[in-house]
Amino acid sequence: MSRQIAQRIAFALITAAAIFVIIPIFFIVGYIVFQGLGAINWEFLSAFPRDGMKAGGLLPAIVGTLLLTAGTAIVAVPLGVGAAIYLSEYAKDTTTTRAIRIAIVNLAGIPSVVYGLFGLGLFVIFLNFGTSILAGSLTLGIMTLPIIISTAEEALRAVPQSFRLVSTSLGGTRWQTIYRVVLPQALPGIITGVILGLERAAGETAPILFTVAAFFLPQLPTSILDQTMALPYHLFVISTQVPGMPLSIQYGTALVLLVFVLSMNLIATLIRRHYRHQRVW
């Protein structure tokens, strides 16, 4: 029967396409682990770069990425979760709400390098923060905001309406209902979204190019108005700007960045799995 044959061919092609999509992911991760593992040792993780960054370690870049991720969280989490609570628990279906939703969609679509320009224009120059951790964290935080808002809102909305009804029937005000009933139930989902947002921020290069990233610094930053090195920018620099950089260091740096980012991804997935099984509703 030709229809059966057509189905078999179509399914085979589709399966082949899916495999074609998946294989490069294995390849990239596997190849970086294979090539980079040799460079990883204690010195690589705990020392400053030496000899024009061709030897030594990644300490300032690792510390910088940790600082920027923390800064991003401080900027984006309160604002993002607040906006999500507003959209889920306060907003009615009005023009304002629609404007907010369209704004979130567009915020999510703005290219990362345009965030970099915006950060340069507003934080570095107009507000005179200079190229600093403060300016970089604010830029990354704003970029992360739409991810946190949409995932947190989804988590809040998933809490059944009956939970809210019970709270109000016991005399709870809106805030009491949100704080005591809705938020605790939605917390795992919100945390997952926050981690995924921070994962994106930790791996971004373009927004920090002109707002915070330093080519090389001989010491760790001491204030939020200092510049800092960061892993993604460091990888970009050593793979394109420094001639004669040993490949093992390049792959080692890529591996450290990849492990940092993907472990955040793993944690988010595990939290989601864990609570999905525990959920009573």
Three-state DSSP string of the chain: CHHHHHHHHHHHHHHHHHHHHHHHHHHHHHHHHHHHHHHCCHHHHHCCEECCCCEECCHHHHHHHHHHHHHHHHHHHHHHHHHHHHHHHHCCCCHHHHHHHHHHHHHHHCCHHHHHHHHHHHHHHHCCCCCCHHHHHHHHHHHHHHHHHHHHHHHHHHCCHHHHHHHHHCCCCHHHHHHHHHHHHHHHHHHHHHHHHHHHHHHCCHHHCCCCECCCCCCCCCCCCCCECCHHHHHHHHHHCCCCCCHHHHHHHHHHHHHHHHHHHHHHHHHHHHHHHHCCC
Q: Looking at beta carbons only, is 42 or 62 nearer to another protein? A: 62
Residues 125-164 that bind another protein (CB under 8 A): 125-126, 142, 145-146, 149, 157, 160-162, 164
Residue 277 found at the interface with another protein (CB under 8 A):
no
Residue 232 found at the interface with another protein (CB under 8 A):
yes
Q: How many residues bind another protein (CB under 8 A)?
A: 107
Q: Looking at beta carbons only, is 42 or 158 nearer to another protein? A: 158
Question: Residue 26 CB, nearest distance to another protein (Å)?
Answer: 9
Question: Residue 274 CB, nearest distance to another protein (Å)?
Answer: 14
Residues 165-204 that bind another protein (CB under 8 A): 165, 168, 171-177, 196, 199-200, 202-204
Residue 270 found at the interface with another protein (CB under 8 A):
no
Give the residue, chosen from 94, 95, 222, 223, that forms a contact with another protein under the rule CB under 8 A. 94
Residue 241 found at the interface with another protein (CB under 8 A):
no
Q: Looking at beta carbons only, is 59 or 101 nearer to another protein? A: 101
Residue 63 found at the interface with another protein (CB under 8 A):
no
Q: Looking at beta carbons only, is 54 or 273 nearer to another protein? A: 273
